[in-house]
Structure 1
Amino acid sequence: MGINLQKGQKISLEKEAGGGLSKIVMGLGWDAAKGKGGMLGGLFGGGGGSIDLDASCLMFDDGGNLTDTVWFRQLRSKDGSIQHTGDNLTGEGEGDDEQIIVDLTAVPAGIKSLVFTVNNFTGQDFSQVENAFCRIVNGANDSEIARYDLSCQGGHNAMIMAKVYRHGGEWKMHAIGETGQGRTAEQLLPQVKPHL
């Protein structure tokens, strides 16, 4: 069982995974909230309509410059080390609705940090999304390293989930857990920068 992350918590991925990590998966899952519609819900685009959450991975170099973004418009990093499984528009089905698979051994040496974000492309805030979570999984054995519950976040439609970064020859993870506003990861960049 993984850690239920608290905002700002720093963990060593390798320690939590019980050894060297070569592959991690960022999973995102959700269901459209039911019965929270009503008059107001309809006005604000709620009312149980379709909800499209998007997982993204932003790649930064030592200087804090964005070098690449893996998201629904680009499902693979230019260097091939990060792969998005594809855009899920509804949250239907069990388990992860979207996944970003990272081969840590193939991430170019010039990349210092990977920042994982969740955005609601359809714009509703997280209080209208049920059972929403994002998690980091050890790709070698499918064990969950860490998990964030998104559904309790009201008034926001985006989250900077975590930063996975190189430090002293190993990969570490900083659970950022900062809510924000933005339908795409790029709209979150001003909020991401202070965490690099």
Structure 2
Amino acid sequence: MGVTLTKGQQISLEKSGGQPLSVVRMGLGWQAAPRKGFLAKLTAREIDLDASAVLFAGNEPVDVVFFQRLISDDGSVRHTGDNLVGSAGQGGDDESILVDLLRLPAHVDQIVFTVNSFTGQTFAEVQNAFCRLIDENTGQELARYTLSGGGSYTAQIMAKVHRSSGGWHMSAIGEPANGRTFQDLMPAIASHL
């Protein structure tokens, strides 16, 4: 089990033996929160959360990977596909984005991961939501960030992976936001670069 991150916490993505990671996977899992009351089953709706990765060179976005664009221009970042209903939320990933750190272009120094409710429900209607970073070569979970607290927002800027001192680091951001797509979140992302 990896490190459970809190908002603002940062970890190095260097293996314990000093070797850098080569391929990491950012996983996202969630479940719809159970509704209460007599009409709960009649009014329940599926929740479509979407994971996105925005690649930056400095403060400029240079590429993006999300459910409508599954592979970055250079092929180093790949989304495994859209999940429209969630339900893993118990440890498995509903959506994943693979990042080949060794193939990323040298000018890309930050990747910001976001999650948004495409169907517009708020995080108050979501439970057991998390994002996690996995060493794709070993399957070892490196870090986990719980998207907790519910709230009336429809998106969250989850985390960023960034180059620092010659290596890669992950920072948990956990910033609530509003928007149905990553484009809606770009002004909020800017303050975390």
Whether these two folds match at TM > 0.5 is: yes
Q: Residue 138 and residue 18 in structure 1: after superposition, are their counterparts in 2 closer, same or farther (change >3 A)?
A: farther
Q: Residue 194 and residue 6 in structure 1: after superposition, are their counterparts in 2 closer, same or farther (change >3 A)?
A: same
**Structure 1 gap segments, 5+ residues each:** none
Q: Residue 115 and residue 16 in structure 1: after superposition, are their counterparts in 2 closer, same or farther (change >3 A)?
A: farther
Q: Is the CA contact (8 Å cut-off) linking 1:36 and 1:128 kept in structure 2?
A: no
- What TM-score does the superposition give when structure 2 sets the normalisation length? 0.91
What is aligned with 1:85? 80
* Equivalence map 1:2-13=2 (5 Å): 2-13=2-13
The 2-side partners of 1:86 and 1:17 are apart by 33
Q: Higher mean Cα deviation, 175-184 or 29-38? A: 29-38
Post-superposition offset of 1:152: 2.4
What is aligned with 2:30? 30
Q: Higher mean Cα deviation, 132-141 or 88-97? A: 88-97
Which residue of 94, 106, 111 maps to 1:109? 106
Q: Is the CA contact (8 Å cut-off) linking 1:36 and 1:47 kept in structure 2?
A: no
What is aligned with 1:14? 14
Q: Residue 12 and residue 37 in structure 1: after superposition, are their counterparts in 2 closer, same or farther (change >3 A)?
A: farther
The DSSP-based 3-state class of the residue aligned with 1:34 is coil
What is aligned with 1:67? 62
Post-superposition offset of 1:140: 1.5
Q: Residue 103 and residue 37 in structure 1: after superposition, are their counterparts in 2 closer, same or farther (change >3 A)?
A: farther
Post-superposition offset of 1:195: 1.1
The structure whose residues are more often helix, as a share, is 1
Which residue of 115, 119, 122 maps to 1:122? 119
The 1-side partners of 2:17 and 2:48 are apart by 30
The 2-side partners of 1:71 and 1:108 are apart by 19
Q: Higher mean Cα deviation, 52-61 or 15-24? A: 15-24
The DSSP-based 3-state class of the residue aligned with 2:138 is coil
The 2-side partners of 1:129 and 1:23 are apart by 29
The one-letter amino acid of 2:54's match is L
The DSSP-based 3-state class of the residue aligned with 2:102 is helix
Q: Higher mean Cα deviation, 90-99 or 153-162? A: 90-99
Q: Residue 71 and residue 17 in structure 1: after superposition, are their counterparts in 2 closer, same or farther (change >3 A)?
A: farther
Q: Is the CA contact (8 Å cut-off) linking 1:55 and 1:71 kept in structure 2?
A: yes
**Structure 2 gap segments, 5+ residues each:** none
Q: How many residues align?
A: 191
Post-superposition offset of 1:15: 5.1
What is aligned with 1:48? 44
Post-superposition offset of 1:119: 0.5
The one-letter amino acid of 1:55's match is A
1:11-31: CA deviation from partner (whole Å, max 9, x where unpaired): 112157963100110001111
The 1-side partners of 2:134 and 2:44 are apart by 29
The 2-side partners of 1:118 and 1:178 are apart by 10
